[in-house]
Structure 1
Amino acid sequence: MAEVYYVGVDVGSASVRAALVTRAGLLETAAEEPISIWEPQSDHYVQSSAEIWDKCCTVVKRVTQNVEKSRVRGIGFDATCSLVVLDQDFQPVPVSQDGDKQRNTVMWMDHRAEEQAARITNTGHRVLSRVGGVMSPEMQPPKLLWLKENLRESCWDKAAHFFDLPDFLSWKATGSLTRSLCTLVCKWTYCPPDGWDAGFWSSIGLEDLLENNFSKIGSATCSPGSPLGGGLTQDAAADLSLEAGTAVGASLIDAHAGGLGMIGADIKGFQLPCEDQPISSRMVMICGTSTCHMAISEQPLFVPGVWGPCLSAMVPGMWLNEGGQSATGRLIDHMVKGHGAYAQLQEQARQRSNIYSYLNNHLSLMAASGPTVDLLGSSLHVWPDFHGNRSPVADPTLKGMVIGLPLSQTLDDLALLYLATVQALALGTLHILEAMKEAGHDIRTLFLCGGLSKNSLFVQIHANATGLPVALPDQVEAVLVGAAVLGACASQDYSTVQVIKVTLILRL
């Protein structure tokens, strides 16, 4: 039988990627394109939805160029939980004071709405119980409130459609305004089966969103992987160089796609403590610019400072809790590149490897005649919340701190600061784990994917700090595989997301 394929498209913070995935879940080929990030003022980060769609088309064309298009059975999209604003003609609306219409997307990491988020938290509304009791500026309600209060004429009054970026991509592909439960439940306070809580939106001053059955933010919903519309429209098919009607699955947030690509992995024979346990004994960590810690349960569990429980947000019929750290890869880069010895590190690494492989090796050499790598940084301590604490403290106003810095700025000093930063992040993961366990989760194994999962020191320090085994996917691009799973489910080659197994694994 001729091979069939599914395409997964992943829109991260700084790039768009696509992969061609086989029926067996193996990644055949992948492509990547950068996307722009603008910072019009401090803590404001914006992007262009038009540029993002163009780059999606570019990478999909590249991964499918040597494949007969009829053999591409489905396509799925995931993206960061950024806010896209369009007018009644589906044209971009500016989200900054500069009025640039093309810059119509408020990024997930944009913290302009901290004050609005605090006001929403202070209402004590019942919907907050599903976001750990604290509204985050990374979610959509405070961003929407900020736009209304600060850009009333140029943005709010002109806006007719507010999309989470994953739903924007699904709409662009199919013309369907149906939203994924993943985005609405996790970032918008939607709660199935009841739906939108009109009292919440009225209580925070956004009662105008109730008009026309919440048409501006979504009146129709479905589970991730559900087929949307009639598949690719003629226009979208032409943009992507695929056949019109190709199945498109309802989207996922990027971290949740990684979770979907990992959490159901077949681990038989690897002797992990979760092997004979339900998948609720696993925590998936998607480690990149930020990190998301995701665990599911059969019954709703309320974890203070941790988002959720969210029904069917990742796995249909299961409740999701999502912890996280707002800056991980971004924090490590910040600490390393801002150090006085960074130029020396670049020069040394240029001759041998990338900077992080070099630092990992350098730390091993430093530990060769003394304490273990773990103990090298015993006099240097980092508080890692440079971009606030997402969970479980749930305080976006927190700042970072370093204690124990010397006057010297040698390469050894840089390596130790890097180590201390990684250790701080790992201890943050332990803090999240402890909060989840106290609320009823029984986590026995960590499953890591994303860019930082390729860093051996980052992985090892997390195993050491948490005392749990860490599993990594054989298919390293688990997020792309998760996106492709959406297309596979939408194609109806599989009955549900749950029956699709993903190949793992390697154990550390």
Structure 2
Amino acid sequence: MEYIIGIDVGTTSVRGALVDKIGNIVEIAVESITTWNPEPDFYEQSSNQIWQSCCRVMKKIISRVSPASIKGIGFDATCSLAVFDIKGKPVSVNKKDIDDQNIILWMDHRAKKEADDINQTKHQILKYVGGHVSLEMVIPKVLWLKRNHSRCWKKAHHYFLLNDFLTWKCTGEEYRSLCSVVCKFNYEALPTGSSGWNKEFFEIIDLIELSEDNWKKIGSNVINPGTLCGKLTLQAAEEFGLLPGTPVAASLIDAHAGSLGVVGCIAENISPQFHKRLALICGTSTCHMWQTPYPVYVPGVWGPYYNAMIPKMWLLEGGQSASGKLIDHIIDTHPATSSIKNNLQNQHISNYLNSLLRKLAEKKQISLDELSNEVHVWPDFHGNRSPLADPTFRGMILGLTLAKDEENLAVLYLAVIQALAYGTRHILQEIERKAGKKSIESIIICGGLCRNDLFVQTHANAMGLPVLIPEQSESILLGAAILGASVAKFYSNIEEAVLHMAGPAKIIKPNLAVTNYHAKKYAVFMEMLNFQNKIKQTMNF
């Protein structure tokens, strides 16, 4: 047998999968990683720890096969910024100068002022990020380091997105994936072939130093995801337990790997065309990925990015900065949670709440959806990524009472899930408004939240669209493995690998009986947006 390996570095763990030619996952291993939160809105990680976790994961998943059977490796990771000196050693990104903490995590919001200053330039390049660069992207963070951390700024010689650090560490080659630089570094990629760094933009935002030595610090050599970026060095091979010379693919950001892993899934009577599907990659946050054959410019939605995932297609990327994390927060901070957890036996609390909601609906003789009639939520507890592109937005809950029992928690939990679905509806509404037509006919959900039946059915009901759940639950790992399959030459190109490896999907149809209910709740949702804007105007912020 011949295999490929997919490695996924998420927010809280490193995961690896041994995958065969047709997309079957043979082995999985997981290692946790640490996140430091030294100040409010500061989140940092360690590239050394992540690399060591990758090595342990790799050895676990190949323990029962020959190293010679591994024909390709693909990586994905969070869109976090990793900083290194001229010798390739980590450089601290925190004020305590702990060099091992050299990664600014994607969810770090320290660079708000820098993002605001960049956006005030209104440079034409910002049209590729929905008109506003996000403080979760890389360039505002680099500018923050220049303004606030002179030691790091002076020592920094390499700025890598985390996924590109991994391929560099494996191969010694300083290639950047086009996915990384076009989506997070404000790199321009066009179908005319006129691609590259915009020197005028970096000069205006006071980062012209990055252009030195042919842009070496942020990427002189940019290649498409899934193309060969190098082969395992002797040292990397020894640390992994693999053979030197094993091919390594140019990487993807984790959400993009998830989208790659699901966009080709097969479902009866559902169009297989990529541009008719919206992929939701759900975890701590949610990313909304849409591939289109033509560019669509949507304020507050990242992109369009050319060639960022599927060759010769444009990618639009919406998102919610807190989704799984928001659900956990609501549950963890409710007074009823501790007593529920004390009585649970090998059952996740969300499953318990889902069951409780079904019983409540049956008791009241209404649909489960309607239990939230008096409770409404605006879900931006960590700012709005899309389509408002405003990190100052905050969460709102309407309908609070003094109740603190488990039924109160269950209804609030339902209202939060519905609010996340309405956030997706808001993003899709803006995409289709700018596209000038309704293109999206189905939604694909992958990631941890796809295992929550209530979350999935609520999205189908609130959107009025069928939801596809891939039978292969590890979509992000599969997406990373598809990259490996490309350099292993199992398939002639990424598109062919996607269509052969994605596998079948289960269809969740919307309950059309609650369409009118969700239309009314969505109207309330949009009124909450208007009300928060009025509050901001009144309070002058």
Query: Normalization by structure 1: what TM-score?
Result: 0.97
One-letter identity of the residue aligned with 2:287: C
* Aligned match of 1:24: 22
Alignment of 1:380-459 (within 5 A): 380-440=375-435, 442-459=439-456
Distance 1:351 1:252 in 2: 38
| Mapped partners of 1:112, 1:315: distance in 2 | 32
Whether the 8 Å contact between 2:210 and 2:218 is mirrored in structure 1 is: yes
2:181 is aligned, of 178, 181, 184, to 184
Q: Could you tell me whether the CA contact under 8 Å between 1:97 and 1:151 is conserved in 2?
A: yes
Q: Does 1:198 align with 2:192?
A: no
The structural deviation recorded for 1:351 is 2.4
Shift of 1:301: 1.0
How far apart are the structure 2 equivalents of 1:381 and 1:297?
A: 33
Deviations 1:214-234 (CA, angstroms, capped at 9, x unpaired)? 1000010111010112x1111
SS of alignment partner, residue 445 of structure 2: strand
User: What per-residue deviation string (whole Å, max 9, x for no partner) do you get for residues 242-268 of structure 1?
Assistant: 11111110000000000000112233x
Match of 1:360 in 2: 354
Kindly indicate whether residue 331 of structure 2 is the aligned counterpart of residue 330 of structure 1.
no
**8 Å CA contact 1:227, 1:491 repeated in 2:** no
Report the 3-state secondary structure (helix = DSSP H, G, I; strand = E; otherwise coil) of the residue aligned with 1:369: helix
Q: Offset of 1:194 from its aligned partner?
A: 2.3
Read off the aligned partner of 1:149 and give its amino acid letter: R
Equivalent residue for 2:229?
A: 228
Q: Name the amino acid aligned to 2:67.
A: K
Superimposed CA distance per residue, residues 108-135 of structure 1 (whole angstroms, 9 cap, x where no aligned partner): 0000001110111110001100000011
2:58 to 54, 57, 60: 60
**Contact 1:352/1:358 (8 A) holds in 2:** no
Unaligned runs of 5+ in 2: 509-541
What does residue 161 of structure 1 align with?
A: 158
1:481 aligns with: 478
Query: Could you tell me how far 1:352 is from its partner in structure 2?
Result: 5.4
Structure 2 residue aligned with 1:73 = 71
Partner Cα distance (1:67, 1:448) in 2: 32
Q: Is the 8 A contact 2:12 2:34 kept in 1?
A: yes
Letter in 1 for 2:425: L
Where 1:446 maps in the other structure, the secondary structure is: strand
- Residue 285 of structure 2 is aligned with which of 284, 290, 293? 290
CA distance, structure 2, for counterparts of residue 111 and residue 337 of structure 1? 23
Q: Distance in 1 between matches of 2:487 and 2:201?
A: 33
Q: Distance in 2 between matches of 1:443 and 1:316?
A: 20
Q: For residue 38 of structure 1, what is the amino acid of its counterpart?
A: W
Of 313, 337, 340, 2:335 maps to: 340
Identical aligned residues as a percent: 48
Query: For the Cα contact (< 8 Å) 1:386–1:399, is it kept in 2?
Result: yes
Contact 1:254–1:479 (8 Å) recurs in 2 = yes
User: Considering only aligned residues, what root-mean-square deviation do their CA atoms show, in Å?
Assistant: 0.9
2:345 counterpart (341, 344, 351): 351
C-alpha separation in 2, matches of 1:200 and 1:504: 44
Q: Which residue of 2 aligns with 1:208?
A: 209
Counterpart amino acid of 2:416?
T
Letter in 2 for 1:113: A
2:262 corresponds in structure 1 to 262
In 2, the alpha carbon distance for the partners of 1:175 and 1:50 equals 16
How many pairs align? Answer: 498
Offset at residue 504 of structure 1 (A): 1.9
Residue equivalent to 2:104: 106
Give deviations 1:57-92, integer Å, cap 9, x for gaps: 111110110001111110100000000000000000
Distance across 1 between alignment mates of 2:265 and 2:196: 31
Which aligned pairs between 1:372-383 and structure 2 lie closer than 5 A? 372-383=367-378
Contact 2:2-2:69 within 8 A present in 1 as well: yes
Q: 2:349 and 2:363 mapped to 1: Cα distance?
A: 23
Runs of 4+ in 1 over 3 A off after TM superposition: none
Distance, in Å, in 2 between the alignment partners of 1:493 and 1:8 is 14
Contact kept in structure 1, 2:21 and 2:490, CA below 8 Å: no
The whole-number CA distance in structure 2 between the counterparts of 1:481 and 1:499 is: 14
Where does the alignment leave 5 or more consecutive residues of structure 1 unmatched?
none
| Cα offset, 1:189, TM superposition | 0.7
- After superposition, the C-alpha distances for 1:378-417 in whole angstroms (9 at most, x for unaligned) are 1011110011000001101111111111112111111111
Q: Does the residue aligned with 2:280 lie in a helix, a strand or coil?
A: strand
Q: Deviations over 1:303-327 (max 9, x none)?
A: 1110000011111111000000000
Question: Aligned with 2:228: secondary structure?
Answer: coil
1:352–1:490 CA distance, 2 compared to 1 (3 A)? closer
Between the aligned partners of 1:438 and 1:279, the Cα distance in structure 2 is 19
Please identify, of 315-324 and 495-504, the stretch whose mean Cα deviation from structure 2 is larger. 495-504
Contact 1:44-1:110 within 8 A present in 2 as well:
yes
SS in 2 for 1:436: helix
The C-alpha deviation readout for 1:411-437, integer Å capped at 9, x for no partner, is: 111111111110000000000111111
- Which amino acid letter does the alignment assign opposite residue 254 of structure 1? D
Residues in 2 aligned to 1:453 and 1:340: alpha-carbon distance in whole angstroms: 27
